[in-house]
Amino acid sequence: MELVQDTTRPSLVDMKGIPMIKYFAEGTRLLQDFQAWPDDLLVSTYPKSGTTWVSEILDIIYQDGDLQKCRRAPIYMRVPFLEFTSPGVPSGREALENTAAPRLLKTHLPLALLPQSLLDQKVKVIYIARNAKDVAVSYYNFYLMAKVHPDPGTWDSFLENFMKGTVSYGSWYQHVQEWWELRRTHPVLYLFYEDLKENPKREIRKILEFVGRSLPEKTIDSIIQHTTFKEMKKNPMANYTTVPPDFMDHNVSAFMRKGTTGDWKNTFTVAQNERFDAHYADKMAGCNFIFRSEI
């Protein structure tokens, strides 16, 4: 196990203009010689957009609906997080060593930092996007509980940083748009958290078609049942309670926090919402797809 010795809450570091968690910047550098395989499948998201949820769904699909097999290891071992390193937790590279083809991989990297091999090998990508307001609130709570991040400061200052793109992994606005554009040249299934919440069966069918698999109706129903927020929250192989508390403190905020759409209304003030909307309209001008911040 690679141990990266450092105190908690290190400052973000710049990589090609993208602010990165110090440990993950090291992990990204380690990926320089990463070799993708053509039958890999990459789950890509901006943080807090439903990565774990879709990863769990995909692992069940890859295990032909066998829920017992999905209890074999925590989600970060079943779906290696490429750029991940953190003290006391196996790195993404280590998790990869134990992963046989066909592999499921996870990343939050923007395209500027993505290992080129994933593009060269035309690795299929499932991208999950979530509305910016719920992401910002979820991210703030995640910063509070996951001590690989710098101290987020107040919610108000965090929201400003989110809008400026100075949080870990940079700009949400750029991330969701550049991966959308990638669809023109690369096999990308672009999904929305809100759609999955609204109609999981429809979205799981899209996933099955994209990965070229089919499963009986009753297996699809059991996937839906197993991956509800309530079920995943109590599943130690999905809820990140297996990581050391020095890394994630679930007493501050659970990783499986609320799992809803529209929770931002409990955190944004009216003034913050107005300012956010004006800034959003500017940043997303010309974007030809729509996010729903309530369903």
Active site residues: 108
Distances (CA, A) of 170 to 18, 152, 229, 282: 5, 14, 27, 17
Q: Is 256 in the site for ligand A3P (CB under 6 A)?
A: yes
- Name the phi and psi angles at 139, rounded to 5: -65, -40
Q: Is 150 in the site for ligand A3P (CB under 6 A)?
A: no
Closest approach of ligand A3P to the CB of residue 48, in Å: 4
- Name the residue among 61, 93, 64, 62 with its Cα closest to residue 76: 93
Binding residues for ligand A3P, how many (CB under 6 A)?
Answer: 20
Question: According to DSSP H, which parts of the chain are helical?
Answer: 22-30, 51-62, 75-78, 92-97, 116-120, 132-145, 155-164, 172-182, 193-198, 200-211, 217-226, 229-233, 270-283
- The stretch among 27-35, 41-49, 94-102, 182-190 that binds ligand A3P (CB under 6 A) is 41-49
- Name the phi and psi angles at 124, rounded to 5: -65, 140
Q: Is 263 in the site for ligand A3P (CB under 6 A)?
A: yes
Q: Which of 206, 257, 279, 292 lies at the binding interface for ligand A3P (CB under 6 A)?
A: 257
Q: Which of residues 103-142 bind ligand A3P (CB under 6 A)?
A: 134, 138, 141
Residue number with CB closer to ligand A3P (47 or 74): 47
What tokens does 134 get? 């719920």
- The stretch among 77-85, 112-120, 183-191, 226-234 that binds ligand A3P (CB under 6 A) is 226-234
Q: Which of 26, 36, 42, 45 lies at the binding interface for ligand A3P (CB under 6 A)?
A: 45
- Name the phi and psi angles at 97, rounded to 5: -60, -30
* Residues lying near ligand A3P in the complex (CB under 6 A): 45, 47-53, 134, 138, 141, 227-229, 232, 256-259, 263
